[in-house]
Amino acid sequence: MNHEDGDYVLPGEILCSYEEYSPSNWTYVEKGYIKANKQGKLVIDDYNKTVSIDSRDAPRHIQINDLIIGYVTEVRTQKVLVTIKQIVGQKRDLVAGYKGYIHISQAIGDYVQSMHYLFKIGDIVEAKVINVFTTEYIELSTASRKLGVIKAMCTNCRSFMELDQNNELRCECGKKDYRKLSENYGGYIE
Ligand SMILES: [Zn+2]
């Protein structure tokens, strides 16, 4: 057994070998291991030798069409990597480990030469989930006016930038810059 009773587990996690226990609610067998099919609290029943997942108070799993808030961890020419923090409308932060990406074709819904022009490391984005391959490989889109950067991190001084009266991004340090902005820029202030 890799876990203790009551541990919080994520979908796909190995719980124990199939010889030790039998799978019960929200668990399945793969390659000789019992794995979690849902996120939630692990329930180990040593009397009946079963393992199951209690998902009653677990935060909901990310699904296609969810809106998420995340921060940009890496910007490449063709795609941007995002660590997902929250599903919009859910109070609790996600437990851990959700990662996504925005491909250049999903950034603005139009041709763009490089993602470096639209996003920078540290930016906070609101995006829509368009594919869930694994918890660490979730495809996101910002190709709508309501989606994109909601807080832009200044590349000069690492402060968050403000929109000026001309709707241009400007930092206290004097730096001006450009992003794929959301209409909600400045929203969801923590
Ligand atoms: Zn600055």
- For residue 177, the CA-to-ligand 1 centroid distance in Å is 10
* Distance between CA atoms of residues 25 and 106, nearest Å: 37
190 residues of the chain, pLDDT tens digit each: 778 898 888 888 999 998 889 998 889 999 999 999 888 889 999 999 999 998 776 556 788 999 999 999 999 999 999 999 888 887 666 666 789 999 999 999 889 999 999 999 999 999 999 998 888 899 999 999 999 999 999 999 999 999 998 889 999 999 999 999 999 898 765 4
* C-alpha 94: how far from chain center: 8
- For residue 165, the CA-to-ligand 1 centroid distance in Å is 18
* Distance between CA atoms of residues 154 and 190, nearest Å: 18
Which pLDDT does position 92 carry in this prediction? 67
Taking Cα atoms as reference points, which of 24, 90, 25 lies closest to residue 62?
Answer: 90
Contact between 94 and 78 (Cβ < 8 Å):
no
Around Cβ 142, how many Cβ atoms within 10 Å?
A: 25
Taking Cα atoms as reference points, which of 58, 113, 118 lies closest to residue 82?
Answer: 118
| Residue 53 half-sphere exposure toward CB, CA atoms < 13 A | 21
pLDDT in tens, 101-135: 999 999 998 899 999 999 999 999 999 999 988 88
Complete domains list, the chain, with CATH: 8-54 (2.40.50.100), 67-177 (2.40.50.140)
Token pair of 53, please? Answer: 């997942």
pTM tops 0.75:
no
Q: What is the DSSP letter of 115?
A: G
* Distance between CA atoms of residues 140 and 77, nearest Å: 16
- For residue 164, the CA-to-ligand 1 centroid distance in Å is 14
| Residue 27 half-sphere exposure toward CB, CA atoms < 13 A | 27
Could you tell me which residues are beta bridge partners of residue 22? 50
- For residue 34, the CA-to-ligand 1 centroid distance in Å is 50
The label of the residue with tokens 């190709």 reads: 143
- For residue 156, the CA-to-ligand 1 centroid distance in Å is 5
- For residue 145, the CA-to-ligand 1 centroid distance in Å is 25
- For residue 169, the CA-to-ligand 1 centroid distance in Å is 10
